[in-house]
Amino acid sequence: MISKFHKLASRVEDLWATAGKEKSSFPEICFNELSNFEFPHSLEELESELALWIQGSSLPKQLNVYNNFGQPPVTLFNNGKFVVDLYFWMNIDTSIHSHSFAGAFKVLYGQSLHEVFEVKPKKVYAEDVMSTDINRVTTQLLNQGATERILAGNQFNHRVVHLDTPTVTLCIRTIDDKEDTQWHHFPNGLSIEKRAPEEKVLKNLFYYEYLFNRNPEKGMAFLAEIIESWSISEMINLYEQMTTDSMGLSEDACGFFFETLNSIYGASEWYAIYENFYEQLEDHVHAEGDSAIDRFMEHAINSNYSYAQASQILITLQGHSLSEMQEMNFSTLEK
Ligand SMILES: [Fe+2]
C-alpha cells in the first residue's frame, strides 16, 4: 500500500523532469497526479500499514520532525527537491498563509473547509511586517478525494480548516526553495513573514537561557545583544512558538524574553494590531463538541461569516436544515 505513494512520487519526478523542473509547472503536475491517484483503502488499513512502515530502518529525511504541521506529519518520500507528505490533522489549524513552496494536496480521509483570501498590503512597517486588507473570496467544503493546487508566492493565500478528526491530507510540495517568501496573515489585518528559525538563532536563544540561569544579568545583557541582529519576523516567530510550547526554555527565561519584546516593540503601530488580534481571541466562542459540525459552527461564528453563507455550508455538511439550536447559535451573524 505504501508503495503506491512511492509510485506516485516517481511519476511526479519523471513528469517534472520532462517539464524542465520549473517550479511554476509543479502545482499542475501534482494536481493532475493527485486527482488521478486512487487509494481505495480504509483509514484503519492505512494506519496499520503505516505502523509497520514507520518502524522500518530507513525513513526518508523528515520535512517536519515535530508536530508543528500535522499531528503527526510523515514524510513518505524525499528526493531533496520535493516531498510526498501525509498529514494527520487532530487539531484545528486556523492560520491564513501564503507559501514559499509549490505543489498540491488531496484530502485522503475526512473533510476540510477551504478558504481563499485576497490580501492587499496597506502599510509596510519593515520588509517582513505589513498591515493588510484581507478578504475571503471563496469558501468551499473539501470532501474526501478533493484536490487543490498550492501556488507559491503572495498571490495565493488560503486557510484549510480541518473539520473531521482526524482529517488526513496527502501533499506533494517542493522543499528548500527560498526565492518566495511565506506570510502569515492575522485576520485583523497584520501580516508577518513566516519562517522556521535558523539554527544560529535557536542556538543563540538556548545559550541565552543557559547564561540567564547561571546569572540573570549576564543572560539579559546577552539577549539585548543578540536581539539587535534579529528581524521582527524572527522575534515574532519565536514568540509565537514559545507561547504554545516553551521550546524547552525555563519559565523565567521565557518571561524575560517576552518582557524584552514588549519593551522594544510595545509602542509600535504594528504591535498594537498584533496585540489586538489576541485580545479579540478572548471573545471567541468555543464549541462544546468536536464534530465537523461543531468545528464548522465555531469557525463560522469566530470568522464573521454571513448568516446566508454559514447556513448554506452547514446544510451541505449535515444534509438537512438548521435545528432551532443552530439557528440560535447563528443569530448573531450578519443577515
Ligand atoms: Fe497552505
- The grid coordinates listed for 23 are 517550479
Helices 251-265 and 232-244 meet at what angle, rounded to 10?
A: 140
Query: What count of Cα atoms within 13 Å lies in the side-chain half-sphere of residue 13?
Result: 14
Bridge partners of 97, per DSSP, are: 158, 184
Question: CA of 142: how far to CAs of 42, 106, 162, 316, in Å?
Answer: 18, 9, 9, 11
Predicted pLDDT of residue 246: 61
What are the pLDDT tens digits along the chain (335 aa)? Answer: 999 999 999 999 999 999 999 999 999 999 999 999 999 999 999 999 999 999 987 899 999 887 778 899 999 999 999 999 999 999 877 799 999 999 999 999 999 999 999 999 999 999 999 999 999 999 999 999 999 999 999 889 999 999 999 999 999 999 987 788 899 999 999 999 998 888 999 999 999 999 999 999 999 999 999 998 899 999 998 888 887 776 778 888 888 989 999 999 999 999 999 999 999 989 999 988 889 999 999 999 999 999 999 999 999 999 999 999 999 999 999 98
Find the 226 Cα to ligand 1 centroid distance in Å. Answer: 31
User: Nearest-CA neighbor of 139 among 34, 327, 296, 289?
Assistant: 296
Find the 157 Cα to ligand 1 centroid distance in Å. Answer: 8
129: enclosing H helix or E strand: strand 129-142
Dihedral pair phi/psi, residue 28, rounded to 5°: -65, -40
pTM, two decimal places: 0.91
For residues 188 and 135, is the Cβ–Cβ distance under 8 A?
Answer: no
Find the 137 Cα to ligand 1 centroid distance in Å. Answer: 16
| CA atoms of 137 and 116, how far apart (whole Å) | 6
Find the 159 Cα to ligand 1 centroid distance in Å. Answer: 7
User: Nearest-CA neighbor of 124 among 113, 116, 132, 133?
Assistant: 132
Sole residue written with cell 498550492? 150
Find the 54 Cα to ligand 1 centroid distance in Å. Answer: 25
| CA atoms of 85 and 78, how far apart (whole Å) | 9
Find the 114 Cα to ligand 1 centroid distance in Å. Answer: 10
Find the 194 Cα to ligand 1 centroid distance in Å. Answer: 12
User: What is the amino acid identity at position 48?
Assistant: S
Residue 11 burial (10 A CB sphere; 0-12, 13-18, 19+): middle
Find the 82 Cα to ligand 1 centroid distance in Å. Answer: 15
Find the 102 Cα to ligand 1 centroid distance in Å. Answer: 10
Domains in the chain with CATH codes: 2-193 (2.60.120.10), 199-277 (no CATH), 292-329 (no CATH)
Find the 234 Cα to ligand 1 centroid distance in Å. Answer: 20
Find the 125 Cα to ligand 1 centroid distance in Å. Answer: 24
- The grid coordinates listed for 131 are 498591515
Find the 228 Cα to ligand 1 centroid distance in Å. Answer: 31
Find the 233 Cα to ligand 1 centroid distance in Å. Answer: 19
Find the 101 Cα to ligand 1 centroid distance in Å. Answer: 9
Bridge partners of 312, per DSSP, are: none
Find the 158 Cα to ligand 1 centroid distance in Å. Answer: 6
Find the 139 Cα to ligand 1 centroid distance in Å. Answer: 15
User: Nearest-CA neighbor of 15 among 4, 26, 2?
Assistant: 26
Sole residue written with cell 519523471? 14
For residues 128 and 90, is the Cβ–Cβ distance under 8 A?
Answer: no
Find the 21 Cα to ligand 1 centroid distance in Å. Answer: 21
Find the 58 Cα to ligand 1 centroid distance in Å. Answer: 28
Find the 148 Cα to ligand 1 centroid distance in Å. Answer: 10
Count of C-beta atoms within a 10 Å radius of residue 72:
16
Count of C-beta atoms within a 10 Å radius of residue 252:
13
Find the 99 Cα to ligand 1 centroid distance in Å. Answer: 6
User: Nearest-CA neighbor of 133 among 171, 179, 185?
Assistant: 185
| CA atoms of 132 and 270, how far apart (whole Å) | 11
Sole residue written with cell 530507513? 58
